[in-house]
Amino acid sequence: MKILSWTAIIVLSISYWFQIYKIYKLKEVNDLSMTYHIMLAVGFGILTYTAYAEGSIIFLVKQVATTIPVLIIIGQILYYKDKPRTDRLN
């Protein structure tokens, strides 16, 4: 059962890192919702604190592994918003 839990953490985290990579390559964030990602980050942050308070290592790792990429996506949205895509200029 622990192997399945750790596998789920890895898969969930990798899915966010793929989103980060896609944003980085395309430099396109117009279809992403800032509100959604902020709510996701706040929710994950609260759950991170809960996992810490309860002493659940696996839940804490899961929350940190998903919170960090969501915060990076928020940063990418702020950075790339309203910037022209260079591949469309030619």
Domain 2-85 top-level CATH class: mainly alpha
Q: Give residue 87's pLDDT band: very low, low, confident or very high (50, 70, 90).
A: low
pTM given for the model: 0.85
What are 25-83's pLDDT values in tens digits? 998 898 899 999 999 999 999 999 999 999 999 999 999 999 999 999 999 999 998 87
Domain boundaries, the chain: 2-85
Task: Kindly list the distances between the CA atom of residue 37 and the CA atoms of 4, 14, 20, 81, in Å, as whole numbers in the listed order.
Answer: 26, 17, 13, 14
Q: Which amino acid, one-letter code, is at 62?
A: K
The string of DSSP codes covering the chain is -HHHHHHHHHHHHHHHHHHHHHHHHH---TTS-HHHHHHHHHHHHHHHHHHHHHT-HHHHHHHHHHHHHHHHHHHHHHHHTTPPPGGG--
